[in-house]
Amino acid sequence: MNRVQYASLSIGAVALFFLVWLIVGVNQWIDPLLLPPLSDIALTIGELVNEGYKQVPLWEHIAISVSRALSAFAVAIIIGVPLGLIMGLSMPIAALLNPFVQFLRPLPKIALIPLAVVWLGIGESSKFFLIFIATFLSVVVGANASVKHIGRNRVRVAQTLGASRRQIFFHVVLPATLPDLFTTVRLSIGIGWTSLIAAEMVAATSGLGWMVINASAYLRTDIVMLGIFLLGGIGYLLDAMIVALQNKMVPWGGKE
């Protein structure tokens, strides 16, 4: 299957989904409270664009959530990738840190909300921490695992040719791990983005996650559905940007 066929099939599947939703809404086969018709979603978009939600413009809710997430993603990647690579290259460091990483990684991040509030208060710091920790732990584990895939013969050949540790890292280790690192970043950002809802449960008054939670309390299912679409759409765009960057920076990925 070529790219055109793949894209056509994907677009067709999405179009069919919305067509079925439209038919269900027009015929009222499902209670609108449970599944609002597409026409209601369209009216809700106009309402939020013109009036905002809780006196906050829709674009501001989007911008706040994206800025919270991107700042946490950036710090998690900057710290997590080198640390994971070091753990993969050094058994003593891995032995020291791995128990803590493996203990915290599967822990539901919503369980950390009380501690985040006690430690960091109810401001932006606690929200940053929850998104950061979810992303950071996944990045560390993925970066650590990527080192295991390096062929040891490559390292031995480089050592035989007199390469220094720095040269081995930048010319052997890093190129070999970059494809896996990009995959790790994609998965980690997905995990971090899902933790946005938990982060915006901490005394927030703005953001898409807060908007969805607040609207559900008033049974505004139309706003909840719109918020879900926005969260999913932004997450999709973030992933597409990483894939495009990966294709540009790691053209050799998957070709070995």
Note the pLDDT tens digit of each residue in 205-234. 889 999 999 999 898 999 999 999 999 999
- On whether the CB atoms of residues 135 and 188 are closer than 8 A, the answer is yes
Q: Do residues 197 and 29 lie in contact, with contact meaning Cβ atoms separated by under 8 Å?
A: no
Q: How far apart are CA 88 and CA 92, in angstroms?
A: 10
Instruction: Sort 181 into a burial class: Cβ within 10 Å, 0-12 / 13-18 / 19+.
Output: buried
What is residue 160's predicted lDDT score, i.e. its pLDDT?
Answer: 77
Listed in sequence order, the residues at least 6 apart from 133 whose beta carbon sits closer than 8 Å to its beta carbon are: 104, 109, 112
CATH topology for the 39-249 domain: MetI-like fold (1.10.3720)
pTM (2 decimals)?
0.85
Q: How far is CA 181 from CA 114, 140, 243, in A?
A: 32, 10, 12
CA 57 to the chain's CA centroid: 24
Does the pLDDT at position 253 exceed 70?
no
Percentages helix, strand, coil for the chain, rounded to the nearest 5? Answer: 80, 0, 20
Which residue in this structure is represented by tokens 């927030």? Answer: 204
Closest CA to 90 of 32, 25, 165: 165
Average pLDDT of the residues in 233-244: 92
pLDDT of 110 higher than 90: no
Name the residue ranges covered by the structural domains of the chain: 39-249
**129 and 115 in contact (C-beta within 8 Å)?**
no
Q: Which residues have a Cβ under 8 Å from the Cβ of 116 and sit 6 or more positions away?
A: 126, 129, 130, 202
114 pLDDT exceeds 80? yes
Alpha carbons 130 and 78: distance in angstroms, whole number: 17
47-56 contacts at long range (C-beta below 8 A, 24 or more positions apart): 48/223, 48/226, 53/211, 53/214, 53/215, 53/223, 54/205, 54/211, 54/214, 56/205, 56/206
> Can you tell me the distance from the alpha carbon of 76 to that of 79, in angstroms, rounded to the nearest whole number?
5
Question: Is residue 255 very low, low, confident or very high in pLDDT (cuts 50, 70, 90)?
Answer: low
pLDDT digits (tens, 9 = 90+) for 33-85: 888 998 889 999 998 998 889 888 999 999 999 999 999 999 999 999 999 98
Instruction: Pull the structure tokens for residue 67.
Output: 């800025």
pLDDT tier, 161 (very low <50, low <70, confident <90, very high otherwise): confident
Q: What average pLDDT is seen over the chain?
A: 87
